[in-house]
C-alpha cells in the first residue's frame, strides 16, 4: 500500500496535469481559430485568385521539415471587436530556415481586412524588424496589404513607434548590411509602398501584385486622370517601365522559389561564438512538467524539478546553491547550447540565519546572488535564460532596513546592462519589480514567451483589489459616505475580476508583451532556436555601470 503522502502527491500531480492539459486545449482551440484569419469564405476567395494564404506562403518558403516558430500569433486577440477583430494582427511573423539560413518572415494576411494595418499590426511589424536587427538575420517581407486601416489612422500614423518607424528601420538595416527581401504578392499602396522599395531587393507577382503611392480612385480624385491598376502600378509597369521592382514573377510559387535562390547565395556574418556541444535529451520527459507545475498560482513547488525536464541530461551546475535559496542560478546546456539559468524557486526554505523564506519572493541575498551570476555569464559570454515565477521583492521593515531596494537595484542594473542575449520564460507569476529584475519585456529579452499558467501584472488580482478597495472606501469615508459590507464585497469582486482578466497570458500576448504563449513541453525548442538566432550577432563588450556593493 502506498503511503498517505505519496497518495496525496499522486493526486496533486494528476490535478496539475489535468489543469495544464485543459489550458493547452483552450490554447490550441484559439490558435486554430486565429489561423483561419478572415475566415473560410475569405480564404476561398483569396485562393480563387490563384494566391496562397499568408501561412501557405510561409510553409512553402521555409525548408522542408522546418518547424518554424510563430511570433505574435495572439497579437490583437480580443481587440478591435467593433471592427470585426484583427486575428494575429493581420500579419503572420515566422522565425524559420530558408535555404538553411535562419530568417524572419513577415507575411501580410490579406484575408483580414485586405491586410490593412491596425495599430497592433504596426507594433508587430516593428517587433519582427527588432528581432532581425538585434540578431543580424535576414528579413523577408511577403507584402499583400491595402495600407493603413483609416478609421484608426491617428493610432498608427504619426508617432515614433508607428507606421513610419518601419521605413526608418528599413534604412537602418540596409546600412547595417542586414539583408531585406520584399515580395509584392498583392496590393501595396500609399505609404506601405516604401517598405518593399526600401528593402535591398524586390519581387512582384504578375497579375496579382501592384504597387503605387495612390490607387486609381485617388488618382482620379486628385488629378482627374483615369487609369487602371495594372497600367498604374502592375508588374510590367514597375519592372519594365519604372524599374521600381527587380524581379517580375509569374505566380506565388515562382516568387517564393526565387526568394529561396536569393537567400541561398547570401554569405555569412561573423557569429557570436556561443558554446555548443552535442545535444542530449533530458533524463525525464518534458511532458512531466504538466504534473509538476501546480494548478494554483500560490502553491509551492520545486523549480529544480522543472529545470531537470528542460536541460540536457537533466544536469545543472549550481552557483551559490546554499545561499539566496529562493533564486536558482545554474549553468547548464539546452539542446547543446551553454546557458546561465536564473529562476525563481517556489519552495519555502530556511536561510543560514534560520529565517523562513517564501518561494517566489526575491530577498536581498537572492538578488545579490543573481547579480553576481549575471555578471559572470556576461564575462564568459554565456546566454542567460530567466524563468519567472515571482511575486516581487520582500517587503516589510526588516527587508527595508536590510537594504532591499539597493540589492534589487543592483540586480536590475546587471540585467539592464547585460550584453549577452537574454531569454525569458514566464512560467507562473511575474509581478511588480520582480518582472523587471527577471528580465521582463522592458529589458530587451531576445525572445519572451509565456506558459498558459502565466500571470503578468503589478500584483495579483486579490491583492490589487484589496488595495484599491481600501483606497475607495477611505475616499468615500472622507466625504461622509459609508459602504455596507455587501457593497464592499461587490466592489471587491468587480475590481478583482477586471484585474484577473488583465493578468492573463492572452491579455499580454494580444498586446505583444510576450512573443508567444507556448506549450511548456516546447520550452527547449524556443530557447534553442533563440540562441541559434542570437549567435548571428557578435556580443558587445560588457559595461555594468555603477553597482554598489
- pLDDT, greater one: 405 or 51: 51
What's the confidence (pLDDT) of residue 209? 95
The owner of cell 540589492 is: 407
Range with lowest mean pLDDT among 96-100, 186-190, 202-206: 186-190
**pLDDT tens-digit map of 283-324:** 999 999 999 999 988 889 999 999 999 999 999 999 999 999
**pLDDT tens-digit map of 333-360:** 999 999 999 999 998 877 777 677 777 8
- 3-state SS, 441-485, equals HHHCCCEEEECCCCEEECCCHHHHHHHHHHHHHHHHHHCCCCCCH
Range with lowest mean pLDDT among 14-18, 38-42, 475-479: 475-479
**pLDDT tens-digit map of 180-202:** 999 999 989 877 788 999 999 99
As a whole number, mean pLDDT of residues 260-265 equals: 98
Query: Are 448 and 430 spatial neighbours (Cβ–Cβ below 8 Å)?
Result: no
Identify the CA nearest to 336 among candidates 278, 380, 271.
Answer: 278
Q: pLDDT grade, residue 238 (50/70/90)?
A: very high
What's the confidence (pLDDT) of residue 382? 97
Instruction: Provide the 3-class DSSP secondary structure of residue 420.
Output: coil
Identify the CA nearest to 500 among candidates 447, 449, 456.
Answer: 456
Q: pLDDT grade, residue 458 (50/70/90)?
A: confident
As a whole number, mean pLDDT of residues 485-498 equals: 82
What's the confidence (pLDDT) of residue 466? 79
Range with lowest mean pLDDT among 115-124, 230-239, 454-463, 530-539: 454-463
Identify the CA nearest to 186 among candidates 150, 151, 235.
Answer: 235
Q: What is the DSSP letter of 32?
A: H
Range with lowest mean pLDDT among 144-148, 234-238, 415-419: 144-148
Query: Are 339 and 332 spatial neighbours (Cβ–Cβ below 8 Å)?
Result: yes
What phi and psi, each to the nearest 5 degrees, are found at residue 500?
A: -60, -40
What's the confidence (pLDDT) of residue 401? 62
Q: What is the mean pLDDT of the chain?
A: 91
Amino acid at each position: 500500500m502506498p503511503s498517505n503522502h505519496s497518495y496525496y502527491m499522486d493526486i496533486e500531480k494528476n490535478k496539475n496535469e489535468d489543469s495544464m492539459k485543459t489550458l493547452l486545449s483552450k490554447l490550441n482551440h484559439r490558435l486554430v481559430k486565429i489561423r483561419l484569419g478572415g475566415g473560410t469564405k475569405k480564404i476561398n476567395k483569396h485562393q480563387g485568385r490563384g494566391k496562397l494564404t499568408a501561412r501557405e506562403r510561409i510553409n512553402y518558403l521555409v525548408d522542408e521539415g522546418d518547424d518554424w516558430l510563430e511570433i505574435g500569433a495572439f497579437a490583437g486577440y480580443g481587440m478591435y471587436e467593433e471592427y470585426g477583430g484583427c486575428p494575429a494582427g493581420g500579419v503572420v511573423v515566422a522565425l524559420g530556415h530558408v535555404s538553411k539560413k535562419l530568417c524572419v518572415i513577415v507575411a501580410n494576411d490579406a484575408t483580414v481586412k485586405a491586410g490593412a494595418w491596425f495599430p497592433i499590426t504596426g507594433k508587430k511589424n516593428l517587433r519582427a524588424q527588432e528581432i532581425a536587427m538585434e540578431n543580424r538575420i535576414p528579413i523577408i517581407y511577403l507584402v499583400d496589404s491595402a495600407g493603413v486601416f483609416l478609421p484608426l489612422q491617428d493610432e498608427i500614423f504619426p508617432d515614433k513607434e508607428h507606421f513610419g518607424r518601419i521605413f526608418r528601420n528599413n534604412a537602418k538595416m540596409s546600412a547595417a548590411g542586414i539583408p531585406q527581401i520584399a515580395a509584392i504578392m498583392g496590393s501595396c499602396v500609399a505609404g506601405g509602398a516604401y517598405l518593399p522599395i526600401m528593402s535591398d531587393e524586390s519581387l512582384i507577382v504578375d497579375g496579382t501584385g501592384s504597387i503605387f503611392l495612390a490607387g486609381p480612385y485617388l488618382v482620379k480624385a486628385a488629378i482627374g486622370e483615369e487609369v487602371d491598376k495594372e497600367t498604374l502600378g502592375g508588374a510590367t509597369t514597375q519592372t519594365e517601365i519604372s524599374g521600381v521592382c527587380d524581379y517580375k514573377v509569374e505566380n506565388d510559387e515562382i516568387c517564393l522559389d526565387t526568394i529561396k535562390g536569393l537567400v541561398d547565395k547570401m554569405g555569412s556574418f561573423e557569429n557570436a561564438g556561443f558554446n555548443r556541444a552535442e545535444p542530449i535529451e533530458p533524463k525525464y520527459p518534458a511532458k512531466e512538467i504538466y504534473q509538476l507545475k501546480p494548478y494554483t498560482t500560490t502553491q509551492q513547488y520545486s523549480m529544480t524539478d522543472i529545470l531537470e525536464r528542460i536541460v540536457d541530461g537533466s544536469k545543472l551546475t549550481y552557483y551559490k546553491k546554499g545561499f539566496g535559496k529562493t533564486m536558482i542560478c545554474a549553468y547548464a546546456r539546452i539542446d547543446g547550447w551553454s546557458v546561465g539559468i536564473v529562476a525563481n524557486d517556489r519552495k519555502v526554505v530556511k536561510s543560514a540565519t534560520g529565517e523562513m523564506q517564501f518561494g517566489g519572493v526575491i530577498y536581498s541575498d537572492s538578488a545579490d546572488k543573481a547579480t553576481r551570476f549575471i555578471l559572470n555569464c556576461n564575462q564568459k559570454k554565456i546566454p542567460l535564460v530567466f524563468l519567472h515565477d515571482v511575486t516581487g521583492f520582500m517587503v516589510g521593515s526588516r527587508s527595508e532596513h536590510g537594504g532591499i531596494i539597493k540589492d534589487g537595484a543592483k540586480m536590475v542594473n546587471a540585467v539592464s546592462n547585460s550584453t549577452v542575449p537574454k531569454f525569458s520564460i514566464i512560467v507562473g507569476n511575474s509581478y511588480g519589480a520582480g518582472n523587471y529584475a527577471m528580465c521582463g519585456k522592458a529589458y530587451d529579452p531576445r525572445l519572451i514567451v509565456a506558459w498558459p499558467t502565466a500571470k503578468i501584472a503589478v500584483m495579483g488580482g486579490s491583492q490589487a483589489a484589496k488595495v484599491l478597495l481600501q483606497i475607495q472606501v477611505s475616499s468615500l469615508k472622507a466625504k461622509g459616505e459609508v459602504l455596507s459590507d455587501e457593497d464592499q464585497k461587490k466592489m471587491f469582486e468587480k475590481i478583482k475580476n477586471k484585474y484577473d482578466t488583465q493578468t492573463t497570458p492572452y491579455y499580454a500576448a494580444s498586446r505583444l508583451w510576450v512573443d508567444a504563449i507556448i506549450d511548456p513541453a516546447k520550452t527547449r525548442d524556443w530557447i534553442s532556436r533563440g540562441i541559434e538566432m542570437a549567435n548571428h550577432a557578435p556580443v558587445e563588450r560588457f559595461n555594468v555601470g555603477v553597482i554598489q556593493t
